[in-house]
Amino acid sequence: MLLAAVWLLLDPEAGGGDPQAAVQTSLPGLEPATAEPSLPGLATLAPDPGTVVQAAGPFDDRFRFERLRFGDGQVSGAVAVTSDVSELLELEVLAGFYDRDGSLVGTGRYVHHLDEATTDPGHEGAPAETHPFTVAVPDELADRAVAAAVGVPVLVNE
């Protein structure tokens, strides 16, 4: 015991003999997440009525938006992944909705998650690169939202 204590004192990274202690379960300085992902850029945008603009996100060099449209109580379009031809594991499209003054009044999100445990038996062949999405305007914003911005805070290909 004395030896082990001296050993660890001189070499704290040795970690003793407990294999489970090899796993660092606490991460110094890391604050646990308290909310779903956001895009700070949404608050700085002021799209014109009837338009959809793109909000900056961490993966903007991996995809392009196609067929963006705002109307009929929703914002819609498609995410064309340009970086990979593989299964799309995770995709979140965060939409901000704006009033006539260009103020952000609310958000909604489209979430794609590939559950590898429940593979679609109809899925065959190479994965698609383009993924359509729709985000409905929240009911409470139906009378106020006249424009939208969209961005991607989560994107993972296999």
Question: Rule CB under 8 A: which residues touch another protein?
Answer: 3, 6-7, 10-11, 13-16, 19-25, 27-30, 32-34, 36-37, 58-59, 61-62, 83-87, 89-90, 92, 111-114, 116-117, 124-127, 153-154, 156, 158
Backbone φ and ψ of 36, nearest 5°:
-70, 165
The smaller minimum CB distance to another protein, of residues 100 and 113, is found at: 113
Q: How far is the CB of 91 from another protein (least distance, A)?
A: 9
The smaller minimum CB distance to another protein, of residues 106 and 153, is found at: 153
Q: How far is the CB of 55 from another protein (least distance, A)?
A: 14
The smaller minimum CB distance to another protein, of residues 32 and 121, is found at: 32
The b/e string for 4-29 (b: 16+ C-beta within 10 A; e otherwise) is eeeeeeeeeeeeeeeeeeeeeeeeee
Which is nearest to 150 in space by CA: 55, 84, 81, 8?
Answer: 55
Q: For the purposes of burial, counting CB atoms within 10 Å of the CB of 62, is it exposed (0-12), middle (13-18) or buried (19 or more)?
A: middle
User: Which position has the token pair 């993966």?
Assistant: 59
Q: How far is the CB of 115 from another protein (least distance, A)?
A: 8
First to last CA, the chain: 47
The smaller minimum CB distance to another protein, of residues 86 and 103, is found at: 86
The smaller minimum CB distance to another protein, of residues 128 and 142, is found at: 128
Q: How far is the CB of 150 from another protein (least distance, A)?
A: 16
Alpha helices in the chain (DSSP H): 2-10
Q: How far is the CB of 99 from another protein (least distance, A)?
A: 27
Tell which phi-psi region holds residue 110, choosing left (phi > 0), alpha (psi between -120 and 50) or beta. Answer: beta
